[in-house]
Amino acid sequence: MIVTVTLNPSLDRAVEVDSLTRGEVIRAAAARIDPGGKGVNVSRALLANGVLSVAVLPTGGDEGSQLTRLLKAEGVEVLAVPISGRTRSNITLAEPDGTVTKVNEPGPELCGADLDEITAQLLTRAGDADWVVLCGSVPPGLPADAYAQLCRRLRAAGVRVAVDTSGPALREAALAGATLLKPNREELAEVVGAPLTSLGDVVEAAQRLRAWGAGAVVASLGADGAVLVDADGVVTGNCPVARPRSTVGAGDALLAGFLAAGARGAPALAEGLAWGAAAVSLPGSRMPGPTDLFRQHVTIHHQPDELLPLLPSGPLS
């Protein structure tokens, strides 16, 4: 079983448009609403592929109630912690060429008592978990080391912890000894304070996170696929998508696939890439099931060319 924690979940409203023009009235070609938030998406992807998962998250207002109903309708077990604020709603505008424009609300303000209750709920389920996954942005009101605090509690209890966040929270998670970190290219560049223009830059940045205390790093690189850096070395892989529809949740699907496949080495990276590429081919933040996966399109490199320049950012970020 894999337990996920999302401190700033959302309702994700995805709208497909022919083209996005500022100041114009635009008619939508299609629209859908899905449960949102990185950890929420990881749980949804796992459940869609038959892997047991529990989602721990704060919820508030009508939006929080709707989020819980949507998750339960998908079969996700939810440990919802009531809060006084309102769960945020995010909007995604997707164009036919794969261009995605997102508008994310900041989310409700949480306090120390909220984090204490979330921690208590988490610890009730973490004992028999294969992994605990801490994901997403830190909501207003909580310190940057909120995930790091959870990570230390869990690591002290012998639980493996994966963290997917950004900015100072990502650095704090590395310093707290997270078993696995899953940044995208932009998040990795931000945390090390340097541009990443080649595969070698990515590997060097990932090694810096490991030097800070992280056990392993899986970096998603958009059109360049993903890189795994751990104690065994460096593995890269790619999985092209012929018709991208939405990149929302693709990195979450990649992380879910990687964990579901054992979270070690090239086989796990290949599975993660298959799940992530499948998510890119689906509308909104829909998570892929077994019939959606792109395993036949995955390529893995055990001795990557670290001088290889990176393409502009794109799917699977």
pLDDT, average across residues 130-135:
97
Biggest distance spanned by C-alpha atoms of the chain: 55
- CA 59 to chain CA centroid, Å, is 19
pLDDT of 186 > 90? The answer is yes
Half-sphere exposure of 258 (CA within 13 A, CB side): 32
Element (H, E) at 270: helix 265-280
In terms of pLDDT, which residue wins out, 82 or 304? 82
Alpha-carbon span 3 to 161, nearest angstrom: 10
In terms of pLDDT, which residue wins out, 198 or 223? 198
pLDDT in tens, 46-99: 999 999 999 999 999 999 999 999 999 989 999 999 999 999 999 989 888 878
Residues ≥6 apart with Cβ < 8 Å to 303: none
Half-sphere exposure of 270 (CA within 13 A, CB side): 11
For position 286, what pLDDT does the model report?
86
**Does residue 153 contact residue 145 with C-beta atoms inside 8 Å?**
no
Domain spans, the chain: 2-301
Query: What percentage of residues in the chain have a pLDDT greater than 70?
Result: 96
Going by C-alpha positions, the residue among 209, 292, 214 that lies closest to residue 253 is 292
Per CATH, the number for 2-301 is: 3.40.1190.20
For position 32, what pLDDT does the model report?
87
When pLDDT is cut at 50, 70 and 90, the band that residue 312 belongs to is low
Strand 88-94 relative to strand 131-135: parallel, antiparallel, unpaired?
A: unpaired
pLDDT, average across residues 119-144:
94
pLDDT, average across residues 166-195:
97
Backbone torsions φ then ψ of 300, nearest 5 degrees = -125, 140
For position 98, what pLDDT does the model report?
76
For position 94, what pLDDT does the model report?
86
pLDDT, average across residues 207-226:
95
Element (H, E) at 187: helix 185-192
Of the listed 164, 201, 252, 292, which one is catalytic? 252
For position 61, what pLDDT does the model report?
95
Q: Any catalytic annotation for residue 305?
A: no
Residue that the structure tokens 């830190």 belong to: 138
Alpha-carbon span 83 to 167, nearest angstrom: 25
Q: What is the mean pLDDT of the chain?
A: 92
Going along 124-276, which residue ranges are E strands?
131-135, 161-164, 180-181, 216-220, 226-230, 233-238
**Does residue 255 contact residue 162 with C-beta atoms inside 8 Å?**
yes
pLDDT of 303 > 90? The answer is no
pLDDT, average across residues 7-32:
91
For position 306, what pLDDT does the model report?
64
Alpha-carbon span 193 to 239, nearest angstrom: 28
For position 243, what pLDDT does the model report?
85
When pLDDT is cut at 50, 70 and 90, the band that residue 34 belongs to is confident
Query: CA torsion angle for 280, 285, 287, 292 (degrees, to 10)?
Result: -40
For position 42, what pLDDT does the model report?
97
Report CA-CA distances (Å) from 298 to 267, 269, 277, 293.
10, 10, 9, 10
In terms of pLDDT, which residue wins out, 216 or 302? 216
In terms of pLDDT, which residue wins out, 277 or 303? 277
In terms of pLDDT, which residue wins out, 111 or 247? 111
Return the bridge partners of 88, or none: 10
pLDDT of 194 > 90? The answer is yes
pLDDT of 315 > 80? The answer is no
